A and B are shown apart, each in its own frame.
Chain A
Amino acid sequence: GAVVSQHPSWVICKSGTSVKIECRSLDFQATTMFWYRQFPKQSLMLMATSNEGSKATYEQGVEKDKFLINHASLTLSTLTVTSAHPEDSSFYICSGYPRTGTYEQYFGPGTRLTVT
Chain B
Amino acid sequence: KQEVTQIPAALSVPEGENLVLNCSFTDSAIYNLQWFRQDPGKGLTSLLLIQSSQREQTSGRLNASLDKSSGRSTLYIAASQPGDSATYLCAVATDSWGKLQFGAGTQVVVTP
Q: Which residues of A approach B to under 8 Å, CB–CB?
A: 1, 4, 6, 32, 34, 42-46, 49, 91, 93, 95, 97, 102-110, 112
Smallest CB separation, B33 vs chain A (Å): 11
Name the interface size band of chain B: 20 to 34
In the complex, chain A residues whose CB is within 8 Å of the CB of B42: 109-110
Check B100 for interface membership: any CB of A closer than 8 A.
yes
Considering the chains assembled together, what is the distance between the CA atoms of A91 and B38 in angstroms? 13
Check B7 for interface membership: any CB of A closer than 8 A.
no
- 11 A–B contact pairs at CB < 8 A? A4-B43, A32-B97, A43-B89, A46-B101, A49-B97, A91-B41, A103-B93, A104-B32, A104-B49, A105-B46, A109-B42
**Contact A106–B46 (Cβ < 8 Å):** yes
**Contact B34–A105 (Cβ < 8 Å):** yes
Q: A1-B46, A107-B43 are in contact. List 17 more A-B contacts (CB 8 A).
A: A4-B43, A42-B104, A43-B102, A43-B103, A44-B100, A46-B100, A93-B44, A95-B100, A103-B31, A103-B32, A104-B32, A105-B34, A105-B98, A106-B46, A107-B36, A107-B46, A110-B43
In the complex, chain B residues whose CB is within 8 Å of the CB of A106: 46
Also in contact, A112 and B93, with CB within 8 A (given A105-B34, A105-B98, A106-B46): no
Interface of A is mostly: strand
Smallest CB separation, A97 vs chain B (Å): 6
**Contact B34–A109 (Cβ < 8 Å):** no
**Would you list the 9 A-B pairs with minimal beta carbon distance, nearest first?**
A107-B44, A109-B43, A104-B49, A107-B43, A103-B98, A110-B43, A43-B102, A43-B104, A44-B102
